[in-house]
A and B are shown apart, each in its own frame.
Chain A
Amino acid sequence: MDSTSKSLFIRSSSLTIGESICAVAMIPIVAVIDFLIFATTNCFRYRPQPKKCLYEFTDLTRLANESRFTVNEIEALYELFKKLSNSIIDDGLIHKEELQLALFQTQYGGNLFLDRVFDLFDEKKNGVIEFDEFIHALNVFHPYSPVEDKIDFAFRLYDLRQTGFIEREEVKQMIIAILMESEMRLSDDLLEEIIDKTFADADADKDGRINKEEWKAFVLRNPNLLKNMTLPHLKCITTLFPSFVYNTGVED
Protein backbone atom coordinates (compact mmCIF):
# COMPACT_ATOMS: atom_id res chain seq x y z
CA MET A 1 0.00 0.00 0.00
CA ASP A 2 2.66 2.39 1.07
CA SER A 3 4.97 1.58 -1.85
CA THR A 4 2.15 1.94 -4.41
CA SER A 5 1.06 5.25 -3.03
CA LYS A 6 4.68 6.38 -2.91
CA SER A 7 5.24 5.30 -6.52
CA LEU A 8 2.04 7.07 -7.54
CA PHE A 9 3.33 10.19 -5.83
CA ILE A 10 6.71 9.97 -7.56
CA ARG A 11 5.10 9.31 -10.94
CA SER A 12 2.66 12.19 -10.57
CA SER A 13 5.35 14.56 -9.34
CA SER A 14 7.68 13.71 -12.25
CA LEU A 15 4.90 14.38 -14.76
CA THR A 16 4.28 17.75 -13.21
CA ILE A 17 7.84 19.02 -12.82
CA GLY A 18 7.18 21.66 -15.46
CA GLU A 19 3.95 22.54 -13.76
CA SER A 20 5.51 22.74 -10.34
CA ILE A 21 8.23 25.04 -11.67
CA CYS A 22 5.47 27.20 -13.09
CA ALA A 23 3.65 27.16 -9.79
CA VAL A 24 6.76 28.32 -8.00
CA ALA A 25 7.48 30.99 -10.57
CA MET A 26 3.90 32.25 -10.49
CA ILE A 27 4.09 33.32 -6.88
CA PRO A 28 6.29 36.39 -7.50
CA ILE A 29 4.35 37.19 -10.69
CA VAL A 30 1.07 37.13 -8.81
CA ALA A 31 2.65 39.30 -6.17
CA VAL A 32 3.73 41.85 -8.79
CA ILE A 33 0.24 41.92 -10.32
CA ASP A 34 -1.24 42.43 -6.86
CA PHE A 35 1.11 45.33 -6.32
CA LEU A 36 0.24 46.87 -9.67
CA ILE A 37 -3.49 46.71 -8.98
CA PHE A 38 -2.96 48.31 -5.62
CA ALA A 39 -0.63 50.92 -7.08
CA THR A 40 -2.89 52.06 -9.89
CA THR A 41 -5.80 52.64 -7.56
CA ASN A 42 -3.66 55.35 -6.02
CA CYS A 43 -2.35 56.70 -9.29
CA PHE A 44 -3.25 60.24 -8.53
CA ARG A 45 -1.13 60.33 -5.41
CA TYR A 46 2.18 58.87 -6.51
CA ARG A 47 3.89 57.38 -9.54
CA PRO A 48 4.61 53.66 -9.14
CA GLN A 49 5.80 53.26 -12.76
CA PRO A 50 8.07 56.11 -13.85
CA LYS A 51 8.14 55.00 -17.51
CA LYS A 52 4.44 55.84 -17.89
CA CYS A 53 3.28 59.43 -17.91
CA LEU A 54 0.61 59.45 -15.23
CA TYR A 55 -1.75 62.34 -14.91
CA GLU A 56 -1.93 64.55 -11.86
CA PHE A 57 -5.09 66.25 -10.72
CA THR A 58 -3.95 69.60 -12.19
CA ASP A 59 -3.60 68.00 -15.64
CA LEU A 60 -7.13 66.66 -15.43
CA THR A 61 -8.49 70.06 -14.45
CA ARG A 62 -6.63 71.68 -17.33
CA LEU A 63 -8.11 69.18 -19.78
CA ALA A 64 -11.57 69.77 -18.34
CA ASN A 65 -11.13 73.52 -18.87
CA GLU A 66 -9.98 72.99 -22.45
CA SER A 67 -12.97 70.83 -23.32
CA ARG A 68 -16.70 70.27 -22.83
CA PHE A 69 -16.03 67.65 -20.17
CA THR A 70 -16.21 68.05 -16.40
CA VAL A 71 -13.30 66.90 -14.24
CA ASN A 72 -15.26 63.79 -13.27
CA GLU A 73 -15.86 63.00 -16.92
CA ILE A 74 -12.16 63.46 -17.69
CA GLU A 75 -11.40 61.02 -14.86
CA ALA A 76 -13.83 58.51 -16.33
CA LEU A 77 -12.29 58.95 -19.78
CA TYR A 78 -8.90 58.39 -18.20
CA GLU A 79 -10.12 54.99 -17.02
CA LEU A 80 -11.16 54.19 -20.58
CA PHE A 81 -7.85 55.51 -21.91
CA LYS A 82 -5.88 53.33 -19.51
CA LYS A 83 -7.85 50.28 -20.56
CA LEU A 84 -7.30 50.94 -24.26
CA SER A 85 -3.69 52.07 -24.05
CA ASN A 86 -2.53 49.03 -22.10
CA SER A 87 -4.39 46.40 -24.10
CA ILE A 88 -1.43 45.30 -26.22
CA ILE A 89 1.58 47.47 -25.34
CA ASP A 90 1.60 48.46 -21.72
CA ASP A 91 2.94 52.00 -22.04
CA GLY A 92 -0.01 54.29 -21.37
CA LEU A 93 -0.21 55.30 -25.03
CA ILE A 94 -2.70 54.13 -27.65
CA HIS A 95 -0.94 52.50 -30.58
CA LYS A 96 -2.71 51.83 -33.85
CA GLU A 97 -3.13 48.11 -33.06
CA GLU A 98 -4.76 49.04 -29.77
CA LEU A 99 -7.26 51.39 -31.45
CA GLN A 100 -7.85 48.68 -34.04
CA LEU A 101 -8.50 46.17 -31.26
CA ALA A 102 -10.94 48.51 -29.56
CA LEU A 103 -12.91 49.23 -32.74
CA PHE A 104 -12.62 45.95 -34.65
CA GLN A 105 -12.26 43.49 -31.74
CA THR A 106 -9.12 42.19 -33.44
CA GLN A 107 -5.66 43.71 -33.80
CA TYR A 108 -5.29 42.42 -37.35
CA GLY A 109 -6.74 43.77 -40.57
CA GLY A 110 -8.03 47.30 -40.54
CA ASN A 111 -9.42 49.66 -43.11
CA LEU A 112 -8.87 53.15 -44.44
CA PHE A 113 -11.32 54.62 -41.94
CA LEU A 114 -9.28 53.36 -39.03
CA ASP A 115 -6.18 54.95 -40.59
CA ARG A 116 -7.91 58.31 -40.92
CA VAL A 117 -9.39 58.22 -37.41
CA PHE A 118 -6.02 57.32 -35.87
CA ASP A 119 -4.30 60.05 -37.86
CA LEU A 120 -6.84 62.67 -36.74
CA PHE A 121 -6.47 61.68 -33.07
CA ASP A 122 -2.65 61.74 -33.36
CA GLU A 123 -2.16 65.52 -33.41
CA LYS A 124 1.61 65.34 -32.93
CA LYS A 125 1.90 62.71 -35.68
CA ASN A 126 4.25 60.63 -33.57
CA GLY A 127 2.44 57.34 -34.14
CA VAL A 128 0.74 57.17 -30.75
CA ILE A 129 -2.31 58.77 -29.16
CA GLU A 130 -1.59 60.42 -25.83
CA PHE A 131 -4.28 61.20 -23.30
CA ASP A 132 -4.34 64.89 -24.21
CA GLU A 133 -4.88 64.03 -27.86
CA PHE A 134 -7.54 61.47 -26.89
CA ILE A 135 -9.49 64.13 -25.01
CA HIS A 136 -9.08 66.79 -27.73
CA ALA A 137 -10.45 64.43 -30.39
CA LEU A 138 -13.28 62.98 -28.31
CA ASN A 139 -14.26 66.52 -27.42
CA VAL A 140 -15.36 67.06 -31.03
CA PHE A 141 -17.84 64.18 -30.62
CA HIS A 142 -19.41 65.68 -27.52
CA PRO A 143 -23.11 66.48 -28.03
CA TYR A 144 -22.49 70.10 -27.00
CA SER A 145 -19.47 70.61 -29.21
CA PRO A 146 -19.88 73.24 -31.96
CA VAL A 147 -21.13 72.01 -35.33
CA GLU A 148 -18.24 73.76 -37.11
CA ASP A 149 -15.76 71.49 -35.32
CA LYS A 150 -17.73 68.41 -36.32
CA ILE A 151 -17.98 69.58 -39.93
CA ASP A 152 -14.23 70.23 -39.99
CA PHE A 153 -13.37 66.84 -38.44
CA ALA A 154 -15.60 64.99 -40.90
CA PHE A 155 -14.01 66.86 -43.81
CA ARG A 156 -10.51 65.88 -42.68
CA LEU A 157 -11.70 62.33 -42.17
CA TYR A 158 -12.88 61.96 -45.76
CA ASP A 159 -9.92 63.85 -47.23
CA LEU A 160 -7.98 60.59 -47.45
CA ARG A 161 -4.84 62.00 -49.02
CA GLN A 162 -4.99 65.21 -46.99
CA THR A 163 -4.86 67.50 -50.00
CA GLY A 164 -7.40 69.93 -48.54
CA PHE A 165 -10.04 68.62 -50.97
CA ILE A 166 -12.32 65.59 -51.06
CA GLU A 167 -11.68 64.14 -54.49
CA ARG A 168 -13.76 61.75 -56.61
CA GLU A 169 -11.14 59.05 -56.32
CA GLU A 170 -11.24 59.28 -52.54
CA VAL A 171 -15.04 58.96 -52.44
CA LYS A 172 -14.82 56.00 -54.80
CA GLN A 173 -12.17 54.38 -52.59
CA MET A 174 -14.36 54.74 -49.53
CA ILE A 175 -17.42 53.22 -51.20
CA ILE A 176 -15.35 50.31 -52.49
CA ALA A 177 -14.04 49.81 -48.95
CA ILE A 178 -17.56 49.51 -47.51
CA LEU A 179 -18.69 47.19 -50.29
CA MET A 180 -15.74 44.93 -49.56
CA GLU A 181 -16.69 44.75 -45.91
CA SER A 182 -20.25 43.65 -46.61
CA GLU A 183 -22.25 41.47 -48.96
CA MET A 184 -23.35 44.46 -50.99
CA ARG A 185 -22.62 44.69 -54.70
CA LEU A 186 -22.67 47.64 -57.05
CA SER A 187 -21.62 47.76 -60.69
CA ASP A 188 -18.91 50.20 -61.71
CA ASP A 189 -21.48 52.21 -63.68
CA LEU A 190 -23.75 52.57 -60.68
CA LEU A 191 -20.85 53.54 -58.50
CA GLU A 192 -19.97 56.33 -60.92
CA GLU A 193 -23.62 57.38 -61.06
CA ILE A 194 -23.87 57.70 -57.29
CA ILE A 195 -20.65 59.69 -57.17
CA ASP A 196 -21.79 61.89 -60.08
CA LYS A 197 -25.02 62.66 -58.27
CA THR A 198 -23.16 63.49 -55.06
CA PHE A 199 -20.70 65.80 -56.79
CA ALA A 200 -23.46 67.49 -58.80
CA ASP A 201 -25.00 68.36 -55.46
CA ALA A 202 -21.87 69.17 -53.46
CA ASP A 203 -19.29 70.46 -55.94
CA ALA A 204 -20.53 74.02 -56.47
CA ASP A 205 -17.60 75.28 -58.58
CA LYS A 206 -17.56 72.07 -60.63
CA ASP A 207 -13.83 71.54 -60.33
CA GLY A 208 -14.25 67.82 -59.67
CA ARG A 209 -13.47 68.03 -55.97
CA ILE A 210 -15.14 69.25 -52.79
CA ASN A 211 -13.41 72.01 -50.87
CA LYS A 212 -14.05 72.97 -47.26
CA GLU A 213 -16.62 75.64 -48.05
CA GLU A 214 -18.55 73.37 -50.40
CA TRP A 215 -18.47 70.60 -47.79
CA LYS A 216 -19.80 72.92 -45.12
CA ALA A 217 -22.69 74.07 -47.32
CA PHE A 218 -23.40 70.46 -48.35
CA VAL A 219 -23.51 69.23 -44.77
CA LEU A 220 -25.75 72.09 -43.66
CA ARG A 221 -28.19 70.97 -46.38
CA ASN A 222 -27.84 67.31 -45.30
CA PRO A 223 -27.34 67.39 -41.52
CA ASN A 224 -27.72 63.61 -41.19
CA LEU A 225 -24.19 63.42 -42.63
CA LEU A 226 -22.92 64.41 -39.20
CA LYS A 227 -24.75 61.72 -37.25
CA ASN A 228 -21.56 59.73 -36.59
CA MET A 229 -19.86 62.88 -35.31
CA THR A 230 -21.78 62.87 -32.03
CA LEU A 231 -21.39 60.17 -29.41
CA PRO A 232 -24.30 60.20 -26.96
CA HIS A 233 -22.20 57.90 -24.73
CA LEU A 234 -20.14 60.96 -23.81
CA LYS A 235 -23.02 62.43 -21.84
CA CYS A 236 -23.17 59.45 -19.49
CA ILE A 237 -19.47 58.55 -19.45
CA THR A 238 -19.32 58.66 -15.67
CA THR A 239 -21.87 55.85 -15.41
CA LEU A 240 -20.12 53.79 -18.09
CA PHE A 241 -16.80 53.92 -16.21
CA PRO A 242 -17.72 54.08 -12.54
CA SER A 243 -14.40 52.79 -11.17
CA PHE A 244 -13.10 56.38 -11.25
CA VAL A 245 -15.35 57.12 -8.26
CA TYR A 246 -12.78 55.63 -5.92
CA ASN A 247 -9.96 57.75 -7.30
CA THR A 248 -11.63 61.08 -7.69
CA GLY A 249 -10.11 64.22 -6.31
CA VAL A 250 -13.39 66.05 -6.91
CA GLU A 251 -16.65 65.30 -5.22
CA ASP A 252 -19.78 65.65 -7.33
Chain B
Amino acid sequence: MTIVEILENEWFKKGYKPPRFEQADATLGDPGSVYNESWDSQNLVVEWKEERPAPPIITMNAFELILASQPQGLDLGCLFEKQTLQGFVKRETRFTSKCPATEIISKIERAAKPLGFDVKKSNNKMKLLGEKADRKGHLAFTAEIFQVAPSVCMVELRKSGGDTLEFHKFYNRLSARLKDIVWTEGHEVEETNGPVPSGR
Protein backbone atom coordinates (compact mmCIF):
# COMPACT_ATOMS: atom_id res chain seq x y z
CA MET B 1 0.00 0.00 0.00
CA THR B 2 1.24 3.41 -0.78
CA ILE B 3 0.98 6.34 1.56
CA VAL B 4 -1.64 7.92 -0.64
CA GLU B 5 -3.79 4.80 -0.35
CA ILE B 6 -3.45 4.79 3.45
CA LEU B 7 -4.57 8.38 3.62
CA GLU B 8 -7.64 7.61 1.62
CA ASN B 9 -8.53 4.48 3.59
CA GLU B 10 -11.70 4.68 5.72
CA TRP B 11 -9.98 3.18 8.75
CA PHE B 12 -7.32 5.84 8.67
CA LYS B 13 -9.73 8.71 8.12
CA LYS B 14 -11.69 7.93 11.32
CA GLY B 15 -10.82 10.58 13.89
CA TYR B 16 -7.95 11.91 11.84
CA LYS B 17 -7.17 15.58 11.99
CA PRO B 18 -4.64 16.74 9.46
CA PRO B 19 -1.79 18.70 11.12
CA ARG B 20 -1.70 22.46 10.54
CA PHE B 21 1.59 24.21 10.52
CA GLU B 22 1.71 27.86 11.67
CA GLN B 23 3.35 30.16 9.20
CA ALA B 24 6.19 31.74 11.15
CA ASP B 25 5.86 35.51 11.05
CA ALA B 26 9.00 36.45 9.26
CA THR B 27 8.03 40.10 9.02
CA LEU B 28 9.77 41.42 12.15
CA GLY B 29 10.41 44.74 10.52
CA ASP B 30 13.24 46.11 8.55
CA PRO B 31 16.50 44.83 10.05
CA GLY B 32 18.14 48.05 8.96
CA SER B 33 15.98 50.10 11.34
CA VAL B 34 18.34 49.34 14.21
CA TYR B 35 20.87 51.64 12.63
CA ASN B 36 18.40 54.49 12.32
CA GLU B 37 17.49 54.73 16.02
CA SER B 38 18.98 57.75 17.76
CA TRP B 39 21.92 56.63 19.76
CA ASP B 40 21.13 58.50 22.97
CA SER B 41 22.15 57.58 26.46
CA GLN B 42 18.77 56.20 27.48
CA ASN B 43 19.09 53.41 24.90
CA LEU B 44 22.65 52.77 25.99
CA VAL B 45 21.48 52.23 29.52
CA VAL B 46 18.68 49.90 28.37
CA GLU B 47 21.15 47.69 26.52
CA TRP B 48 23.45 47.54 29.49
CA LYS B 49 20.54 46.67 31.73
CA GLU B 50 19.67 43.66 29.62
CA GLU B 51 22.94 42.05 30.62
CA ARG B 52 22.26 42.36 34.34
CA PRO B 53 18.79 42.18 35.87
CA ALA B 54 17.83 45.80 36.45
CA PRO B 55 15.86 46.86 39.53
CA PRO B 56 12.31 47.88 38.58
CA ILE B 57 11.95 51.64 38.48
CA ILE B 58 8.72 53.01 39.87
CA THR B 59 6.88 55.01 37.21
CA MET B 60 4.31 57.53 38.20
CA ASN B 61 1.02 58.88 37.07
CA ALA B 62 0.04 62.50 37.64
CA PHE B 63 -1.67 61.87 40.99
CA GLU B 64 1.26 59.84 42.31
CA LEU B 65 3.54 62.71 41.34
CA ILE B 66 1.32 65.17 43.21
CA LEU B 67 1.27 63.01 46.32
CA ALA B 68 4.99 62.19 46.17
CA SER B 69 5.79 65.89 46.16
CA GLN B 70 3.88 66.25 49.44
CA PRO B 71 2.56 69.73 48.88
CA GLN B 72 1.73 71.70 51.97
CA GLY B 73 -2.01 71.65 52.27
CA LEU B 74 -2.44 68.00 51.35
CA ASP B 75 -0.70 66.59 54.39
CA LEU B 76 -3.11 67.01 57.30
CA GLY B 77 -0.67 65.24 59.60
CA CYS B 78 0.85 68.70 60.15
CA LEU B 79 -2.18 69.56 62.29
CA PHE B 80 -0.99 67.07 64.88
CA GLU B 81 2.69 67.79 64.88
CA LYS B 82 4.47 70.05 67.30
CA GLN B 83 4.94 73.45 65.84
CA THR B 84 8.46 74.74 66.29
CA LEU B 85 9.30 78.35 66.98
CA GLN B 86 11.48 78.40 63.88
CA GLY B 87 8.48 77.74 61.75
CA PHE B 88 8.33 75.09 59.10
CA VAL B 89 11.72 73.77 58.11
CA LYS B 90 11.28 71.11 55.47
CA ARG B 91 12.88 67.79 56.16
CA GLU B 92 13.06 66.82 52.52
CA THR B 93 13.89 68.30 49.18
CA ARG B 94 13.32 67.24 45.60
CA PHE B 95 14.70 67.88 42.17
CA THR B 96 14.15 66.47 38.71
CA SER B 97 16.83 65.08 36.47
CA LYS B 98 17.05 64.03 32.85
CA CYS B 99 19.78 61.54 33.59
CA PRO B 100 19.06 57.85 34.00
CA ALA B 101 18.61 56.57 37.55
CA THR B 102 21.85 54.59 37.59
CA GLU B 103 23.84 57.69 36.70
CA ILE B 104 22.06 59.72 39.38
CA ILE B 105 22.83 57.09 41.99
CA SER B 106 26.54 56.95 41.16
CA LYS B 107 26.80 60.76 40.99
CA ILE B 108 25.18 61.17 44.42
CA GLU B 109 27.49 58.53 45.83
CA ARG B 110 30.58 60.20 44.36
CA ALA B 111 29.45 63.59 45.69
CA ALA B 112 28.48 62.42 49.18
CA LYS B 113 31.51 60.30 50.04
CA PRO B 114 34.04 63.18 50.16
CA LEU B 115 31.59 65.12 52.36
CA GLY B 116 32.01 62.41 54.96
CA PHE B 117 29.10 60.10 54.26
CA ASP B 118 28.87 56.36 54.13
CA VAL B 119 26.61 55.25 51.27
CA LYS B 120 24.42 52.15 51.07
CA LYS B 121 22.44 51.39 47.92
CA SER B 122 19.43 49.15 47.31
CA ASN B 123 17.26 49.31 44.17
CA ASN B 124 16.46 52.98 43.74
CA LYS B 125 17.00 53.95 47.34
CA MET B 126 20.22 55.12 48.92
CA LYS B 127 21.02 55.57 52.58
CA LEU B 128 23.64 58.16 53.46
CA LEU B 129 25.03 58.10 56.96
CA GLY B 130 27.25 60.88 58.25
CA GLU B 131 30.47 59.74 59.88
CA LYS B 132 30.70 62.46 62.46
CA ALA B 133 28.00 62.96 65.05
CA ASP B 134 26.92 66.30 66.43
CA ARG B 135 24.71 66.97 69.45
CA LYS B 136 21.70 65.62 67.61
CA GLY B 137 23.40 62.41 66.56
CA HIS B 138 24.52 61.29 63.13
CA LEU B 139 23.18 63.09 60.11
CA ALA B 140 21.33 60.50 58.02
CA PHE B 141 19.39 60.75 54.74
CA THR B 142 17.57 58.60 52.30
CA ALA B 143 17.68 59.40 48.62
CA GLU B 144 14.95 57.85 46.51
CA ILE B 145 14.61 57.97 42.75
CA PHE B 146 11.26 57.83 40.97
CA GLN B 147 10.68 57.53 37.25
CA VAL B 148 8.28 60.28 36.35
CA ALA B 149 8.52 59.89 32.57
CA PRO B 150 10.73 57.67 30.37
CA SER B 151 13.48 60.28 30.34
CA VAL B 152 12.89 62.09 33.63
CA CYS B 153 13.49 61.08 37.22
CA MET B 154 12.46 62.78 40.42
CA VAL B 155 15.01 62.55 43.18
CA GLU B 156 13.86 62.96 46.76
CA LEU B 157 16.37 63.58 49.51
CA ARG B 158 14.87 63.12 52.94
CA LYS B 159 16.43 63.61 56.34
CA SER B 160 16.11 60.56 58.56
CA GLY B 161 18.35 61.59 61.45
CA GLY B 162 20.24 64.55 62.81
CA ASP B 163 19.63 68.28 62.75
CA THR B 164 17.35 69.72 60.06
CA LEU B 165 19.45 72.84 59.57
CA GLU B 166 22.52 70.68 59.10
CA PHE B 167 20.53 68.78 56.49
CA HIS B 168 19.96 71.98 54.54
CA LYS B 169 23.65 72.91 54.77
CA PHE B 170 24.62 69.47 53.49
CA TYR B 171 22.06 69.69 50.69
CA ASN B 172 23.51 72.99 49.50
CA ARG B 173 27.00 71.51 49.35
CA LEU B 174 25.74 68.35 47.67
CA SER B 175 23.68 70.16 45.05
CA ALA B 176 26.69 72.28 44.12
CA ARG B 177 28.37 69.02 43.15
CA LEU B 178 25.28 67.68 41.38
CA LYS B 179 24.76 70.68 39.10
CA ASP B 180 25.15 68.64 35.94
CA ILE B 181 22.39 66.21 36.78
CA VAL B 182 19.84 68.58 38.30
CA TRP B 183 17.34 69.89 35.78
CA THR B 184 17.19 73.65 36.10
CA GLU B 185 15.65 76.40 33.97
CA GLY B 186 18.81 76.65 31.88
CA HIS B 187 18.64 73.00 30.83
CA GLU B 188 15.12 73.47 29.57
CA VAL B 189 16.26 75.98 26.98
CA GLU B 190 18.78 73.47 25.52
CA GLU B 191 16.11 70.84 25.13
CA THR B 192 13.63 72.67 22.92
CA ASN B 193 14.22 74.07 19.44
CA GLY B 194 12.25 77.28 19.59
CA PRO B 195 9.03 78.10 21.45
CA VAL B 196 7.26 75.21 23.11
CA PRO B 197 3.76 74.72 21.63
CA SER B 198 1.29 75.54 24.37
CA GLY B 199 -2.10 74.03 25.00
CA ARG B 200 -3.69 71.05 23.39
* Partner-B contacts on A (CB < 8 A): 80, 84, 102-106, 110-114, 116-117, 138, 141, 157-158, 171, 174-175, 177-178, 181-190, 192-195, 197-198, 201-202, 222, 224-225, 227-228, 231, 233, 237, 240
Choose from B64, B93, B188, B192 the contact partner of A183 (Cβ within 8 Å). B93
Q: Which of B8-16, B77-85, B107-115, B116-124 contacts A (4 or more CB under 8 A)?
A: B77-85
Contact status B72-A231, CB under 8 Å: no
Contact status B61-A197, CB under 8 Å: yes
Closest to A199 in B: B62
Contact status B74-A117, CB under 8 Å: yes
Contact status B76-A190, CB under 8 Å: no
Contact status B184-A84, CB under 8 Å: no
Q: 9 tightest CB-CB pairs across the interface, nearest first? A: A113-B73, A105-B88, A114-B73, A198-B62, A178-B69, A233-B80, A198-B61, A184-B96, A105-B87
Choose from B64, B77, B96 the contact partner of A231 (Cβ within 8 Å). B77
> Smallest Cβ distance from A133 to chain B, in angstroms?
14
Choose from B62, B64, B74, B154 the contact partner of A113 (Cβ within 8 Å). B74
- 11 pairs of residues in contact across A and B, judged by CB atoms under 8 Å: A114-B72, A171-B62, A185-B95, A185-B183, A185-B185, A186-B96, A187-B191, A187-B192, A201-B61, A225-B63, A231-B76
Task: Give Cα A116 to B148, complex, Å.
Answer: 25
- In terms of DSSP, what is the predominant structure of the interface of chain A? helix
Contact status B78-A103, CB under 8 Å: yes
- Any A CB within 8 A of the CB of B187: yes
Task: Give Cα A116 to B182, complex, Å.
Answer: 32
Contact status B73-A158, CB under 8 Å: no
Task: Give Cα A194 to B59, complex, Å.
Answer: 10
> Smallest Cβ distance from A153 to chain B, in angstroms?
11
- Any A CB within 8 A of the CB of B49: no
Given A103-B72, A104-B88, A188-B196, A222 and B78 contact (CB-CB distance below 8 Å):
no
Contact status A193-B95, CB under 8 Å: no
Task: Give Cα A188 to B101, complex, Å.
Answer: 22
Choose from B73, B75, B94, B197 the contact partner of A184 (Cβ within 8 Å). B94
Contact status A111-B94, CB under 8 Å: no
Contact status A225-B67, CB under 8 Å: yes
Task: Give Cα A188 to B93, complex, Å.
Answer: 22
Contact status B79-A113, CB under 8 Å: no
Contact status B73-A84, CB under 8 Å: no
Interface residues of B in 39-83 (CB under 8 A from A): 60-67, 69, 71-80, 83
